[in-house]
Structure 1
Amino acid sequence: MTAIPMPLHGFFITGTDTEIGKTCVTAGLTRAFDALGRHVTPIKSLAAGQVRGADGVWVNEDVALLHAAQSEGMTLDEVGPLQFREPCAPHIAARLEGRAIDRDALLAAIRGAASKGDLALVEGVGGFRVPLTDGWDTADLAVDLGLPVVLVVGLRLGCINHALLTVEAVLARGLRLAGWVANTADPHQPHVADNLAALRARIDDAVGAPCWGHVPRLTDPSPAAVAAHLAPPQLLSALNALKA
C-alpha cells in the first residue's frame, strides 16, 4: 500500500514571468519569516543555468542566493534538488543533457528538503505554466504540493495583464492565492502608484489576496534588504491562515 505523503506547510512562490525578481523575493521572505520565529526552508524546485564557482562546483545562482538566505543547515542540493547547466526552459535543458525530469523523484526531493524546517517556500521556475514533461508543468507541480500560492508581480510594462492572467490560472487550478508581492523589475516603470492601485483593486479587493509588500529597485537586493520592504502584519496573517 502506497503511503500518503504528509501535507506540506508553506507557500508556492510563482511569478508573472521570468527575470522579475522571484528568487530575490523568496530570499527576502525567508529572512522575514525567520524573523517571525519560523524555521524556513527555501527550495528552488528546478533551476536551469549554472555557473562554476571559485571552488569548482557548478551551481545555479538562484540556488546559491536561497542557500545563503537560509539558516537551517540545508545543502545546495537540498535547496536546488534539480539543476541543469543550460540556461533555458527546463524541459529543453533536460533533453540537452540526456536527463529526465522525474515527477515522483522531484516531489520526494522537495518534501525531503522541506522536512528540514517548519515552513517551506517552494519557488517555481519562470512563470506559472512552464512545461516540465509531457502533460506536467509547474502549475501541476503546485497542485501536487498542495501549497497556497504567492505571486511575485514584476512591475514593468504589461504587468497588470500578466498578473491578472496568472491569478486566473492559479484559481482555475483550485489553488488558494495567499498574497502577492510587487517587485520593481523595470527601474524606469512609469505610473507605479497607479499600477499598484489597479492591482490592489483586482487582487486584494476582488480575490481577497493581500499585497505583502512593494520592493523598490534596490542597489543591493540582499535578502535582508528585500525583507525590509515586506509587511509583517500580512505575513503573520498568512501564517495564521495556514493553521486554519
Structure 2
Amino acid sequence: MSKAYFVTGTDTEVGKTAVACALLAAARARGCSTAAVKPVAAGCDAQGRNDDALALMAQVSIDLDYQQVNPVALAPPIAPHIAAAQAGRLLRCGQLAGLCRGVLSERADLTLVEGAGGWRVPISPRETLADLAVDLNLGVILVVGMRLGCINHALLTAEAIMRDGLKIAGWVANQPGEQMACHSENVATLRALLPAPCLGELPRFSPWNAQVAAQYLDIDPLLCPAMADTGNR
C-alpha cells in the first residue's frame, strides 16, 4: 500500500512540518509504516541539524539516519538558494530527487517529502522545489495557513500545482497563529473552490502534540485515493 506525497504550503511559516507530523502520526495510529524526507532545510544548529527535520524523524517508523531525512542542511534561516550560494553549493533538482528516492525505495505505507516555503521557492538560479515535486511525480498535499489573504494564496498555489501537471491529493487548513476573523467562512470558501478533499482543520496547539493533532485529520483520501475521487470535498 505504499503511498508518497509532496507537502507544500501557501507561504513560509504556515505549518507544513506540523501538518506533516500530524499526518504521519495519524498513519502510525492506524498501524501504517511511515517515512519522511526534508530534502532541503535552511536554518540549522551548530551540529547541522534542523528542527523541522528532527520533528519529522520523531514521527517515522522506519529507521532512517538524519542525513537520509535531511540530506541538505544549510546553516542560515534564509531562502535555500541564497543559503546554498553563501555556502558555495549549487543545488540541483536531479540530485535532490535521487536522494529522495533513496527514502522512497523503503516503500513505507506513507512517505512524505516536505518542501521549504511555498511552491515556487528557488533552489538555484534555474530550478525551484516545484521542479523536484514534478521530477518525483508525487501527488501534493497543500497546507493552507489560515490568515488574511489565504484564499488568494491557496487558489494561486493550486493553479500552479495543476499547471505543473501534478494532482492535489488533499489540503489542510492550519491555524499557525491567532484565529483569523471569519475563520469558518474562509474554510467553507476554500472547501468550495479548491479541487481536492480537505483532510482536516488544525487549531493552534500549545504545546504542539502531533498525536493530538492527528485526531483532527482524515487520511483516508491519502491511503485510498481512488475512493476519495468519488467522495465530497
Count of aligned positions: 227
1:3 paired residue number: none
1:156 paired residue number: 147
Q: Distance in 2 between matches of 1:218 and 1:237?
A: 28
Q: Distance in 2 between matches of 1:112 and 1:235?
A: 21
SS at match of 2:211: helix
SS at match of 2:224: helix
Aligned-residue offset at 1:60: 0.7
Q: Distance in 2 between matches of 1:224 and 1:18?
A: 23
Change (3 A) 1:82 1:239: farther
Q: Distance in 2 between matches of 1:184 and 1:114?
A: 29
1:72 paired residue number: 62
1:46 paired residue number: 40
In structure 1, runs of 5+ residues without a counterpart are: 1-7
Match of 2:91 among 89, 101, 105: 101
Aligned-residue offset at 1:234: 3.6
2:163 paired residue number: 172
Residue type of the partner of 2:25?
Answer: R
State whether residues 41 and 72 of structure 1, in contact with CA within 8 Å, keep that contact through their aligned partners in structure 2.
yes
Aligned-residue offset at 1:232: 4.2
1:184 paired residue number: 175
In structure 2, runs of 5+ residues without a counterpart are: none
Please list the CA deviations of residues 142-180 of structure 1 after superposition, one character each: whole Å capped at 9, or x if unmatched. Answer: 100100111000001111110000000011111111110
2:217 paired residue number: 230
Aligned-residue offset at 1:68: 1.1
TM-score by length of 2: 0.91
Q: Distance in 2 between matches of 1:223 and 1:133?
A: 33
Q: Distance in 2 between matches of 1:221 and 1:234?
A: 24
Aligned-residue offset at 1:91: 0.5
Work out whether 1:110 is the aligned partner of 2:96. no
- C-alpha root-mean-square deviation of aligned residues, in Å? 1.8
Aligned-residue offset at 1:189: 1.0
State whether residues 84 and 90 of structure 1, in contact with CA within 8 Å, keep that contact through their aligned partners in structure 2.
yes
1:144 paired residue number: 135
Aligned-residue offset at 1:115: 2.1
Q: Distance in 2 between matches of 1:81 and 1:241?
A: 33
Match of 2:207 among 183, 202, 220: 220
State whether residues 46 and 81 of structure 1, in contact with CA within 8 Å, keep that contact through their aligned partners in structure 2.
yes
TM-score by length of 1: 0.88
State whether residues 20 and 154 of structure 1, in contact with CA within 8 Å, keep that contact through their aligned partners in structure 2.
yes
